[in-house]
Structure 1
Amino acid sequence: MTESPLATPAAGTDAPVPAASGARRFWRRLRAQRAALVAAAVVALLVLVALAAPLLTALEGQDPFTYHPSLIDSARGGVPVGSLGGVDAEHWLGVEPQTGRDLFARLVYGARVSLGVALAATVIQVAIGVAVGVAAALGNQWVDQLLSRITDIIVAMPLMIMSLALLAVVPASFPRPVLVTLVIGLIAWGSIAKIVRAQTLSMKGLDYVSAARLSGWKTWRIARRELLPGLAAPVITYAALLVPMNISVEAALSFLGVGVKPPTPSWGQMLTAADVWYQAAPQYLLLPAGALFVTVLALTVFGDGVRTALDPRAASRLRIGTGRKDKDAATATATATAAAEATATDADATKKEATA
């Protein structure tokens, strides 16, 4: 019973043509935003690097865990030997101070942890938020009030403080990347639940949802067949913006020493160890910080592009300055021409009256 896209007549004919599909419209709007496409390419490259980390380190001939004490100068406190932090044919980005571990290997393996934690935490947040939001909107008054108050409590919780408390009491034997993922995902789902609840309440009164209810469909079937497709746009939009936020949270927790523990590499954990080396070995700080900056910026720009492409009002905004410019210019030219002709006619009439 979901409403189908309206057909529009073809140019110069009266015959209707099928409207573009939702995916095609989304892709057309996204292609109009070059910044979002560049950001998407950067994100895809980062994901590819994270997935191909074992292959890339094998090509280099290194791994992220092996110590190389011969590559550091113990007399200078553990500074890497050589220029640019020990960059050479065997160590493409140099080595870590004090340990001599390969910096390139730790950087690409750190991408796996940082991106993996952020994406997995986002999936957990979206799953819980959508379930709670839809249940609150479709439930009775008591269910709505209970779930809404629980959501308010979750939203009011300070994420960093709660994460620090939970991560500090869990045994060290528990895998830290999994623990950080669960903590972020189980604490920060309140905002998306509020968005889903508000959107579901606005959709409940639509004609096709009312028709489904009058047809005897059960609540779960209405939610699955009629409501969830309509929730895809706001959920995807918010999820795209959650990923860079979760990357920043994971980096902050690792930087504070309660996130991913060494020797497991992550960008935040690398920043924690690099805070005292920014003068002696600046690349040790700049490389993970730069990777974090580029990743968060690309994901933020891409998320904003997805939001614009999924916005029903984006089509009119994107047409402004493109196809409508020609029409507006033609209209302005026609108006100016008509005004000039009218002025000339009035002048001729005035001249004739003066002659008479």
Structure 2
Amino acid sequence: MSEASTVSRTAGTDTTVPAVSGARQFWRRLRTQRAALVAAVVVALLVLVALAAPLLTAVEGQDPTTYHPSLVDSARGGVPIGRFGGISGDHWLGVEPQTGRDLFARLVHGARVSLGVALTATLVQILIGVVVGVAAALGNRWVDQLLSRATDIIVAMPLMIMALALLAIVPSAFPRPVLVTLVIGLIAWGSIAKIVRAQTLTLKGLDHVAAARLSGWGPWHVARRELLPGLAAPVITYAALLVPMNISVEAALSFLGVGVKPPTPSWGQMLTSADVWYQAAPQYLLLPAGALFVTVLALTVLGDGVRTALDPRAASRLGVGTGRGRAGGPGRGTGRSNGARDSGGRGPAGGAAQKEDTA
């Protein structure tokens, strides 16, 4: 990528300084937020665990669906045998009550389902929202009214109730993770469409967009070349906040029994089965609940950090008290002192001129 250059004059010399690209500005602002960096590391580790789930369970020597009835005490209702829920060298986090399935295998495979559903649903929401928002802003009055009213209806729909209704009537043969992804993505795109429409209406008034439209470019060509780059920051910001919301929705649907079905592991589905075991086998409840809490918290903190880093006003806030103005140009200290020397005759040039006048 070619970088623009700016010329700064300091002490009478011209110095060419490469302008900082947008990606570098974003990274520079994000590095100042330690909480967001820690959250990014946590999210990266969770994604890595989800992707490497088959490898991790192969190293443990277990899988998420095999029953181990010999590891549970049937006389006590299926409580795991042994201390701490049956933790051993073969079962790193213990086993599931009643069935004896390995908890570690189900937890890491559940991360694949929960994160996969949330990320894919977010992509569906962003795709539909951007298309509808841009079309409403660039279309004529009738198109704008039609798409805006449709967006209002989508926003007014209660997500959980609509998802419960749709998931209840779809045949069980349809893959549940795919179904949950489609339901969440097709119902909850209204907010991003409103944001994109408002931002597109603002961008339409800029000179370069107006020039592109007057030059004869079509609406979609203008959108692709001139509008989408300006929409990247708000869309990325909202997408970072949508992911933890979608994880919570998937967990809630699975908890209510209409989401991912056994034996496919999911954190929400594990919580559904663990609600009666919190006293006899507390780790069965605490492990998926803790994983869900850490994931949602990390994604929320990371999303807030991305929002701050992409905020154009963040540059002025982060520059306060850093002394960049004094180092890079005529700042408050350097500019005034140089001006004082030149005007008052106390600098080298002023002293010479004063001596010539005296002579």
Change (3 A) 1:10 1:99: farther
Aligned-residue offset at 1:219:
1.2
Measured in 1, the distance between the counterparts of 2:309 and 2:317 equals: 10
Give the Cα separation in 1 of the matches to 2:28 and 2:281.
46
> Which one is further off, 209-218 or 67-76?
209-218
Task: Give the letter aligned to residue 225 of structure 1.
Answer: R
TM-score, length-scaled by structure 1: 0.89
Residues 1-356 of structure 1: pairs in structure 2 closer than 5 A? 7=6, 9=8, 13-323=13-323
| Aligned AA (1:9) | S
Aligned residues: 329
Q: Deviations over 1:68-99 (max 9, x none)?
A: 00000111111000000000000000000000
Distance 2:19 2:209 in 1: 22
Gaps of 5+ in 1: 335-356
Aligned to 1:338: none
* CA offset digits 1:145-169 (Å, max 9, x no partner): 0000000000000000000000000
Distance verdict in 2 for CA 1:214–1:326, change over 3 Å: closer
Following superposition, the deviation at residue 60 of structure 1 comes to 0.2
- CA pair 122-140 structure 1, distance change in 2 beyond 3 A: same
Q: 1:115 to 1:280 in 2, by over 3 A?
A: same
Whole-Å separation in 1 of the counterparts to 2:269 and 2:91: 20
Shift of 1:125: 0.1
Q: Secondary structure of 1:7's match? A: strand
Is 1:8–1:19's contact at 8 Å kept on the other side of the alignment? no
Q: Pick closer, same or farther for the CA change 1:329–1:219 going to 2, 3 Å.
A: closer
Contact 1:10 1:17 in 2 (8 A): no
C-alpha distance in structure 2 between counterparts of 1:11 and 1:247, whole Å: 53
Task: Find the residue that maps to 1:312 and give its secondary structure.
Answer: coil
Cα displacement (A) at 1:325 = 11
Output one character per residue of 1:24-71: Cα deviation in whole Å (capped at 9) or x when no partner.
Answer: 111111111111111001000000000000000000000000000000
Q: Which amino acid aligns with 1:7?
A: T
Amino acid at match of 2:200: T
Greater Cα offset, 21-30 or 104-113 = 21-30
Give the distance between the partners of 2:110 and 2:326, measured in 1 at CA.
Answer: 50
Shift of 1:18: 3.0
Aligned partner letter, 1:45: L
Greater shift, 93-102 or 8-17, is seen at: 8-17
Q: CA 1:154 to 1:11, structure 2 compared with 1: closer, same or farther past 3 Å?
A: farther
Q: Distance in 1 between matches of 2:53 and 2:280?
A: 28
Query: What CA distance in whole angstroms lies between the structure 2 residues aligned with 1:7 and 1:147?
Result: 44
Cα gap change, 1:16/1:207 in structure 2, threshold over 3 Å: closer, same or farther?
farther
Change beyond 3 A, Cα 1:138–1:80: same
Residues 163-183 of structure 1: CA distance to partner in whole angstroms, max 9, x if unpaired? Answer: 000000000000000000000
Partner of 2:347: none
Render the CA deviation track for 1:319-350: whole Å, top value 9, x for unaligned: 2343469999979xx9xxxxxxxxxxxxxxxx
Counterpart residue identity of residue 227, structure 2: L
Structure 1 residues 114, 202: CA separation in 2 closer, same or farther (over 3 Å shift)? same
Displacement after TM superposition at 1:7 (Å)? 2.9
8 Å contact from structure 1 (residues 241, 304) kept in 2: yes
Deviation at 1:249, TM superposition (A): 0.1
Q: Is the 8 A contact 1:64 1:101 kept in 2?
A: yes
**Closer, same or farther: CA 252–326 of 1 in aligned 2, 3 Å:** farther
> Secondary structure, in 3 states, of the residue corresponding to 1:259?
coil
Instruction: Specify the SS of the correspondent of 1:17.
Output: strand
Task: Provide the rounded CA distance (Å) in 1 between the counterparts of 2:62 and 2:323.
Answer: 54
Q: Distance in 2 between matches of 1:122 and 1:180?
A: 12
Gaps of 5+ in 2: 338-359
Matched position secondary structure for 1:9 = strand
Cα displacement string for residues 226-282 of structure 1 (whole angstroms, at most 9, x for unaligned residues): 000000000000000000000000000000000000000000000000000000000
State, as a whole percentage, how many aligned pairs show the same letter. Answer: 83
Alpha-carbon RMSD across the aligned residues, in angstroms, is 1.9
Kept in 1, the 8 Å contact 2:69–2:99? The answer is: yes
Letter in 2 for 1:193: A
Q: Counterpart of 2:344?
A: none
The residue type equivalent to 1:232 in the other structure is: A
Instruction: Give the Cα–Cα distance (whole angstroms) in 1 for the partners of residues 4 and 212 of structure 2.
Output: 18
Question: What code does the residue aligned with 2:106 have?
Answer: R
